[in-house]
Amino acid sequence: MAGGKRSSGIAIVATILIVAGGGYMLLEHLGEDKPKAGATSSAAAGPVLPVSIATAEKRDIPIIVRGLGTVQAFKTVAVKTRVDGQIVKISFREGQDVKAGDPLFQIDPRPFQAALEQAKAAKQRDEAQLAGAQLDLERYGKLIGSGFQSRQSYDQQKTLVDSLKASIAADQAAIDNAELNLTYADIRAPIDGRTGQRMVDLGNLVQAGQSTTLVTINQIKPIYVNFTIPQYANHHLRQRQSRNPLPVFAYSADDKMKLAEGQISLIDNQIDTATGTLRLKGEFANTDERLWPGEFVNVRLEIGIHKDAVTVPQRAVMQGANGYYAYVVKPDNTVEHRVLEIEMNQDGMAVIAKGIDAGEKVVVDGQYRLTNGSRVRVDRPTAAAPAPDKAG
């Protein structure tokens, strides 16, 4: 009897322990499930990502064509000697501005002056001989009829007169040549411009046959810029140029500083088939001398206006495997992955052909962490699209 009671008590205790253990395991399992459910819910919502945005706007955008150009002097003259002789005087400084007709070099003029005097003396001699020969010719003419002078003597005298006249003409040519050489000995500036480095010094002997350049003069006011543009702009360019000369703008090599404004002076008569480019020339007044011969510059040419173009900052547009895209912020602060068609990029601004309408907000910073449907928070003030930078 006593043994039965002990067995029954043990069974009761065992049952209590089993129930308690099961309850503990159930509570532990429920405790584990709650954080998992919370984590799942949190993952579904996703983090809120900070971004900055801009609003797409409609604007009139100048259509700018860019090219790389080289500055070229309006006129360039390599000054050389046309006579032989020793340089006895230099009348300019290197880098000096000169006017047409200003003296540059003086070659020893004495040999040319002596040649001139000799030619003049020869002419005077021949003129004196001609005067006497003409008097004799007149006498011979009067004596032919009376028989005191033969026809042959008369003809010989006439030949002498003609020969002396030819000698006088040759003497005059020698005088002109001597005067010309004397003029060449005084070397003067043929154009307005700026002198470069002097290539010969005082006392040097120069010769016309050696073709040595004494100094180079460049006219830099006005000045040219030669440049090329892609051939696709050819028709728009010529159409606008036919109405009014197109303005052209020269920028520094880093494309940050505007140097000068000029006008198109030449459109080449053919397109370079090797490069598919059209060569142009712009003329600039260059009164402030900001353009210098031989300098490389960036050139901008406005060939038209894009009316009511939808624009966004260029940094809002990204490029993927399927082309251009951007993230558009919806009213519920989620983003939409939007595929775009870009018409052109210009001065930090993208012109949208398709994909975004005016007034929509696009992400300009922070988009690299986004996916379609991500929640965002505008972390910075809304940035407007940058104003279009006209060529001028």
Are residues 174 and 119 part of one domain? yes
What's the predicted TM-score (pTM) here? Answer: 0.67
- Is 193 among the domain residues? yes
Are residues 323 and 349 part of one domain? yes
Are residues 367 and 318 part of one domain? yes
Q: Tell me whether strands 383-384 and 48-55 are parallel, antiparallel or unpaired.
A: parallel
From 259, 290, 306, the end of a domain falls on 306
User: Do residues 322 and 341 lie in contact, with contact meaning Cβ atoms separated by under 8 Å?
Assistant: no
- Is 166 among the domain residues? yes
Are residues 125 and 246 part of one domain? no
Range of the domain at 123: 109-184
- Is 17 among the domain residues? no
The structural domain count of the chain equals 4
- Is 28 among the domain residues? no
- Is 160 among the domain residues? yes
- Is 127 among the domain residues? yes
Are residues 361 and 252 part of one domain? no
- Is 294 among the domain residues? yes
**Along the 392 residues of the chain, how does pLDDT read in single tens digits?**
444 444 555 555 455 555 455 554 544 444 444 444 443 343 345 688 899 999 999 988 888 888 999 999 999 999 999 999 999 999 999 999 999 999 999 999 999 999 999 999 999 999 999 998 888 888 777 777 666 667 787 788 889 999 999 999 999 999 999 999 999 999 999 999 999 999 999 999 999 988 899 999 999 999 999 999 998 888 888 888 887 788 899 999 998 899 999 999 999 999 999 999 999 999 999 999 999 999 999 999 988 788 889 999 999 999 988 899 999 999 999 999 999 999 888 778 899 999 999 999 999 998 888 999 999 988 765 545 455 555 55
* CA nearest neighbour of 280 among 292, 297, 255: 297
CATH, residue 87: 2.40.50.100
Are residues 291 and 240 part of one domain? yes
From 184, 202, 230, the end of a domain falls on 184
From 306, 340, 356, the end of a domain falls on 306
Structure tokens belonging to residue 200: 């010969």
- Is 200 among the domain residues? yes
Q: At what angle do helices 110-144 and 151-184 cross, to 10 degrees?
A: 160
Are residues 280 and 293 part of one domain? yes
